[in-house]
Amino acid sequence: MAGHVAEAGVERITHFGDAAGSAGSTADNVLAGARMERFGDLTSSITPRLSATLQLVPNAVAIRAAGGTAYKAPNLQEPYADNPFIAANPDIEPQTSRSVELGVDLRANDGRIAFGATAYHQGYDNLIRAVADAGSDRQINRNLGASRARGVEWELRVNAAAGWIVGTDGAVLATRVLDNTGLSESLYPEGEELPFRPSLTASAFVERARGRMSGLLRVRYIGGQTVLSERFGGDRVTLDPYLVLGGNINYGSAVDIGRTCAGGQPVRYHVRDCVRPAGRPARAALGISWRSR
């Protein structure tokens, strides 16, 4: 397949294809694909990807693996925007990445208990980031020479009893700046972690449904991280861990009244004005959020 699009005079050409197959069981599958992209005068790129799933124990244990590359051309704002707040950078390059991941999925008690975990490694070249423009008060989009991210993600969901669901999810992440070409040495020192990337995030939740009512309570832990003292500059400082507690209550009417009432803005205890997508049941939501810092 192919696509050919012109965006404000910038030509984008894309060719892509994929193939899928299964062996032994329909749950065992392999998916392979490739994509060729060219954006404007930038160098074209081919990005292949391969993934596979294998059921070790039917409906109980499965392993999966995936690997591939990715290409992201700068949008029209990133190289050409030039105003009192952002400086233009027509020399910005597309960002590319490589990723490998391995995961496992477990099911028990007829699917009432579900657990999944994924370990991954990602490498980035020319990562596009907005940074302070030296010698001015403006920002500018630049390429970060090279960086990497490694981590593990998990999710556990348990249907504990009729109407009750409990679970947890989270991620452990480690990043490193490998090449800071074009960026500030003090803000992005080689060998150090990328800013604004928590080393650990984790949450636990309990959900209860009864009739037309349902409620969710969730507590989330955000681990320590390196941040910049200003939005795109300043100094590298450490932000301490913190907690976020949130919850919501939902009510859905079984009566078709031909309109929908939706709410749920955190800490704003009101229901928004109704809109009229005819033929839908009424629904109302109430939410609240609290942060430890």
**One domain for residues 94 and 198:** yes
94 and 227 housed in the same domain: yes
Contact 129, 139 (CB under 8 A): no
160 within a domain of the structure (yes/no): yes
Same domain, 145 and 94: yes
236 and 258 co-located in one domain: no
Q: What are phi and psi of 52, to 5 degrees?
A: -150, 145
Query: Within this chain, do residues 231 and 172 fall inside the same structural domain, yes or no?
Result: yes
For the segment 122-126, the average pLDDT, to the nearest whole number, is 91
Q: So what's the pLDDT on residue 114?
A: 97
Looking at the structure, do residues 127 and 191 belong to the same domain, yes or no? Answer: yes
Please tell me whether residues 125 and 265 are part of one structural domain: no
Q: Are 285 and 260 in contact (CB under 8 A)?
A: no
129 occurs within a structural domain: yes
Instruction: Please report whether residue 197 resides in a domain.
Output: yes
Tokens matching residue 3: 């696509």
3-state secondary structure the chain: CEEEEEECCEEEEEEEEEEEEEECEEEEEEEEEEEEEEECCCCCEEEEEEEEEEEEECCCEEEEEEEEEEEECCCCHHHHCCCCCEECCCCCCCEEEEEEEEEEEEEECCCCEEEEEEEEEEEEEEEEEEEECCCCCCEEEEEEEEEEEEEEEEEEEEEEECCEEEEEEEEEEEEEEEECCCCCCCCCCCCCCCCCCCCEEEEEEEEEEECCEEEEEEEEEECCEEEECCCCCCCEEEECCEEEEEEEEEEEEEEECCCECCECCCCCCCECCCECCCCCEEEEEEEEEEECC
Contacts of residue 199, defined as CB under 8 A and 6 or more positions apart, other chains included, come to 172, 173, 174, 193, 223, 224, 225
Neighbours of 215 (CB within 10 A): 15
In a domain, 17, yes or no: no
Structure tokens at 165: 């669901």
Pair (170, 290) in one structural domain: no
**Band of pLDDT at residue 15, cut at 50, 70 and 90:** low
Q: What's the domain count of the chain?
A: 2
Whether residue 91 sits in one domain with residue 201: yes
Residue 59 within a domain: no
Tell me what pLDDT residue 211 has.
84
Please tell me the predicted confidence (pLDDT) of residue 206.
96
Q: Residues 147-166: what's their mean pLDDT?
A: 93
pLDDT per residue over 55-78, tens digit each?
A: 999 989 999 999 999 888 787 777
**Closest-CA residue to 63 (of 97, 25, 93, 102):** 102
Summary mean pLDDT of the chain = 80
Do 196 and 226 fall into the same domain?
Answer: yes
Print the domain residue range for 175: 74-240
Q: 5 in a domain, yes or no?
A: no
Per-residue model confidence as pLDDT tens digits over 252-275: 754 433 333 333 333 333 333 334
The mean pLDDT of 171-180, rounded to a whole number, is 93
What local confidence, expressed as pLDDT, does residue 103 receive?
A: 97
Q: 187 vs 283, which has greater pLDDT?
A: 187
pLDDT at residue number 259: 36
pLDDT in tens, 104-118: 999 999 889 999 999
Residue with tokens 């681990």: 223
Q: Are residues 95 and 235 in the same domain?
A: yes
Q: Give the pairing type, strands 164-179 and 200-210.
A: antiparallel
For residue 142, count other CB atoms closer than 10 A to its CB: 24
Residue 26, in any domain of the structure: no
Question: What's residue 218's pLDDT?
Answer: 94
226 with 257, same domain? no
CB atoms within 10 A of CB 35: 19
